[in-house]
Amino acid sequence: MKRAVRDQVASMQFRPDAHHRSVQAVLKDPKLSSDEKRAILSVWASDMYAVESSPMLRMIPGHTTPLRLSDILSALRGLDEDDPPPRGGAAKRIMAGNIDADSHATIAPAVYHLARLRREADLRAASMRAHRNNIRRYQRILKTDLTELERQFVVRRLAQERSAIRNLAQM
């Protein structure tokens, strides 16, 4: 076996995304967990693989034809639907409309102010959760076998996520 062919075969054994030629092949692989499928599809969806002349296509190394970004994103949405969100509803917020007419004028500004503060805190907490989840995902991706270009991209995104958390913590 020629050295180049042997190296290509060896690299395919350690790159889980190199085994799959389509989005459906990733989704149908029973050996991959949902997190692994999500990691592969997320890497494929990244701008790192965007075709310069057509940003809605992704050219994955080792693939002969580009993949459509819409197919990758719909597969990711399908994986999210398989993992339902935690149970529980949204908390009911106090609104000025719930206050009787007599005390409306004196209490309304305070209620609006508290509601705005609560909304800002909720948004900040949701943003922190999203950044922490992204950091966990990027750390998981870094544990896989990546090309140097992929590794640089993931490290750069990881630094941006950490910076975003620091900025949110200072608010």
The per-residue pLDDT for 119 is: 85
* Integer CA distances (angstroms), 84 to 5, 27, 76, 133, 148, in order: 43, 17, 13, 16, 35
Please write the tens of the pLDDT for every residue from 94-132.
Answer: 554 444 555 444 556 777 777 778 888 888 888 889 889
Q: How many CB atoms lie within 10 A of CB 169?
A: 9
The per-residue pLDDT for 106 is: 54
The per-residue pLDDT for 40 is: 85
Q: Tokens standing for 15? A: 């790159």
To 5 degrees, how large is the angle CA 118–CA 92–CA 133?
Answer: 60
Q: In degrees rounded to 5, what are phi and psi of residue 57?
A: -115, 150
The per-residue pLDDT for 93 is: 53
The per-residue pLDDT for 76 is: 86
* One-letter amino acid of 1: M
Strand partners, 77: none
Nearest to 60 by CA among 95, 106, 25: 25
The CA distance from 9 to 18, in Å, is: 10
Terminal Cα distance for the chain, rounded: 60
The per-residue pLDDT for 92 is: 54
Mean pLDDT is lowest, of 7-21, 79-93, 134-148, for 7-21
- Reported as a pLDDT band with limits 50, 70 and 90, residue 148 is very high
The per-residue pLDDT for 10 is: 43
- pLDDT at residue 25 greater than cutoff 60: yes
Name the pairing type of β-strands 50-51 and 67-68: unpaired
The per-residue pLDDT for 159 is: 94
- pLDDT at residue 91 greater than cutoff 60: no
More confident residue, 26 or 83: 26
The per-residue pLDDT for 153 is: 92
More confident residue, 112 or 168: 168
- The answer to whether 69 touches 84, Cβ cutoff 8 Å, is no
The CA distance from 40 to 21, in Å, is: 12
Residue with tokens 């310069």: 52
Q: Specify the DSSP class assigned to residue 94.
A: P
Please write the tens of the pLDDT for every residue from 37-89.
Answer: 888 888 888 877 778 888 788 887 777 888 888 888 888 888 877 655 556 65
